[in-house]
Structure 1
């Protein structure tokens, strides 16, 4: 992966002239990442093409989180016109591969992640847009818009109306900052003074919404299986830390949001394959369907389950076939 044009001039202008630049793993967006090293120092160069990515929210939310005492990488230098941002380097301790090597600390790491959410949700959401019912529906519609055509089905009537019966349950609590992609792949183990144990990544799409969303994102993680026992323990931990919550209403919202998110991801991962030519993502479909089928059994999901049972047969719940 070749660094973007202008990298050398950008680094020269900000005291990193002559630094070594090597690629890092990217994500599902158009952003690319490189590690920059010079004389014992290191930083992360983010290449976010301005015609495809708006880095303003990432910088603003990162600063807000930092000011609240949470560990979010701060910008060392920026050139938004070219889409180049130099960030603090949080190292290589991403939770997913760390636990793949040694899962003995799994409970403690997830407890720390849950405690971050409980603490964050004590604060106002900041200057972000609300997570509206229109946005929840837009996300849910990624399934009929992208997944159904990819498996040879057309959308049957009643999809939107079924979801509309669920949205009121998501507005029973004052909104909090919802990071929207809070899971093990976006959490970094840190060991440095002045930082919490876990660093936060990928929060640029944050909205003001229900506190159960990020908990569901963490505990129903498509990339890393969380056992039902650990999921139950972490939900209980969060609720214990938030005595102000209506527990029954929170658990109902958790069930709805877990289903909505997993169904949305079925659509997102299909779009990444069909539209963007990324063939790796459909491999997650079978696991997603396992979770969605389980999600739909919750009584709160009854209207959506009825629509799925009537219009999405078992033969279509195995994933999109990738062309050779």
Structure 2
């Protein structure tokens, strides 16, 4: 099967004029996509994205979202060649300097978080959801479907599986909470996985264009609070409280007329929902023998979730959680400690 896929890739690269390029594998993400860096003899570089099988369905939205972002003067990769049916793209190479790499090596975090926050305010002031009716909507139905992973996977992994009545109670609690906040802040283009690992430092560009945007294929229309929450309450790293507070203030200052109270309420609920979904996903990985790097997120995300559900709007989720899980979230049990 792999040999057949390799032949498809070789033919694709030949059609694109990159048959003579050296190919080097790059790190994989949590999906089934693979990436390679290509270097031609003349020094030109590109990234091959290989989304085989069911992953090919993510290619058209990726191409669409990249085009929308570039039209708003933001740095999403140019598409040099594509075969959407085969799940193959040849992309602009943004280099290796992700914000995550720079933070890990000890660079000053403030300029990076300021730039990432400014990208969001730039985007949210310029994007009109009415101009993109074909993009998926992160609405009550989609959000409740995604957060279902918490009840399906996390509670099972914690050895507290839900009865049918318990599952209905959890669904009702999320519906009650989400209904209160959906619509209280504007919708815009939601990138969904907006964190330092998907943001690239582009030193030959200025302003918001100096931030390259990757992994946008799951984007859609949703509350403007979501991506700032994703940035500042990152599953992969601890963001200092002073940076979180300063970036929220920076964003609100750039968005005149936006209600601070409404934004913070939406921010809290989006956070609880995102953290719950990630808890479910990491529990799935733990059950399947996931990698230590991914399982290491569990304790941090549990703490983020507990802090989020302390918001008064999330009292139904807090009550449910207190009833069904111990204070430590059964994290040691899930990790087999």
* TM interval, short-chain normalised: over 0.9
Q: Deviations over 1:67-108 (max 9, x none)?
A: 11110002100112322110000000111111111232x111
Asked whether the equivalents of residues 152 and 280 of structure 2 are also in contact (C-alpha less than 8 Å), the reply is yes
Structure-1 separation of matches of 2:135 and 2:252: 25
Alignment of 1:51-90 (within 5 A): 51-54=54-57, 55-90=59-94
1:323 Cα deviation (Å)? Answer: 6.6
2:149 maps to 1:142: yes
1:53 Cα deviation (Å)? Answer: 3.4
Residue number in structure 2 paired with 1:269: 282
Structure-1 separation of matches of 2:145 and 2:177: 14
Residue number in structure 1 paired with 2:105: 101
Instruction: Say which SS state the counterpart of residue 44 (structure 1) adopts.
Output: strand
Residue number in structure 2 paired with 1:286: 299
Structure-1 separation of matches of 2:227 and 2:7: 36
Structure-2 separation of matches of 1:59 and 1:304: 37
Alignment of 1:232-271 (within 5 A): 232-271=245-284
Tell me which stretches of 4 or more aligned residues in structure 1 moved more than 4 Å. Answer: none
TM-score (norm 1): 0.94
Relative to 1, partners in 2 of residues 1:103 and 1:264: Cα closer, same or farther, differing over 3 Å?
A: same
1:316 Cα deviation (Å)? Answer: 3.8
Asked whether the equivalents of residues 188 and 200 of structure 1 are also in contact (C-alpha less than 8 Å), the reply is yes
Residue number in structure 2 paired with 1:151: 158
Alignment of 1:171-250 (within 5 A): 171-193=183-205, 196-250=209-263
**Aligned to 1:111, which of 96, 109, 114?**
114
Structure-1 separation of matches of 2:150 and 2:39: 42
TM-score (norm 2): 0.90
2:158 maps to 1:164: no
Q: Which moved more, 1:154-163 or 1:16-25?
A: 154-163
Q: Deviations over 1:107-156 (max 9, x none)?
A: 11111111110111111133412111111111211011011111211125
Asked whether the equivalents of residues 50 and 81 of structure 1 are also in contact (C-alpha less than 8 Å), the reply is no
1:282 Cα deviation (Å)? Answer: 2.2
Asked whether the equivalents of residues 4 and 47 of structure 1 are also in contact (C-alpha less than 8 Å), the reply is no
2:135 maps to 1:128: yes
Structure-2 separation of matches of 1:45 and 1:90: 12
1:17 Cα deviation (Å)? Answer: 1.9
Asked whether the equivalents of residues 219 and 231 of structure 1 are also in contact (C-alpha less than 8 Å), the reply is yes
Structure-1 separation of matches of 2:55 and 2:199: 24
Q: Deviations over 1:233-269 (max 9, x none)?
A: 0001101111121110110110111111011100112
2:43 maps to 1:40: yes
**Structure in which a larger fraction of residues adopt helix:** 2
Structure-2 separation of matches of 1:94 and 1:71: 13
Relative to 1, partners in 2 of residues 1:238 and 1:287: Cα closer, same or farther, differing over 3 Å?
A: same
RMSD: 2.0
Q: Which moved more, 1:292-301 or 1:232-241?
A: 292-301
Q: Give the number of aligned pairs.
A: 322
